Amino acid sequence: MRALLQRVSHANVIVDHKEIGRTERGLLILLCAMDGDTEDEAVYLASKIAKCRLFPDENGKTNLSILDIQGAALVVSQFTLSASWKKGNRPGFSAAADPETAKALYHSFCKKLEAAGVPVETGEFAASMQVNLSNEGPFTIWMDTQQPT
């Protein structure tokens, strides 16, 4: 799975002119299930994100997790994180999981993150969404379970 985490002071997602998800201080997580991903990747990534120290402490050091700050997450599916862009001029998305698998893994990831103690709001899988955010820092982290370094 691939995830792009953005530390936010607030973020929301709109579908058909209606807000369907929002968070105040916490994370906007753009999530893509890749071909070959399983439940194991969803569990691993949710656990890692819940504990990852992404927020500043009282001294400005990045020492606090989303759990420590009692933050929340807005999780939005984004298959375009699978883009292959080196060949030609149009990105290809064939490395993404098929829609049925991707949807199941997206929902599983959200449930696992919530079970870890992080309040979760979501976008709408496969919908055209408008995502708004105020990125703190800016602070953005790329995670890929197929390349965990």
Contact status, residue 61 vs residue 54, Cβ threshold 8 Å: no
Domain of 16 in residue numbering reads as: 2-144
Residue of 6, 23, 78, 122 with catalytic role: 78
d(CA 37, CA 3): 13
pTM: 0.95
pLDDT of 147: 83
Q: Which of 70, 80, 130, 140 is catalytic?
A: 80
96 is a domain residue? yes
| Position 84 in a domain | yes
| CA pair distance 29, 91, nearest whole angstrom | 22
| pLDDT one-digit tens code per residue, 10-53 | 999 999 999 999 999 999 999 999 999 999 999 999 999 999 99
* Residue 36, domain member (yes or no): yes
- What pLDDT, on a 0 to 100 scale, did the predictor assign at position 16? 97
Q: What is the mean pLDDT of the chain?
A: 96
Cβ proximity of 110 and 75 under 8 Å: yes
Catalytic residue status for 140: no
Look at residue 149 and tell me if it is in a domain.
no
Count: domains in the chain: 1
29 near 76, Cβ under 8 Å? yes
Q: Is residue 6 part of a domain?
A: yes
CATH of the domain at 38: 3.50.80.10
Catalytic residue among 6, 23, 55, 79: 79
> Is 140 inside any structural domain?
yes
Quick one: which of 27, 2, 14, 23 has its CA closest to 128? 14
Classify residue 92: in a domain, yes or no.
Answer: yes
The reply to whether 79 belongs to the active site is yes
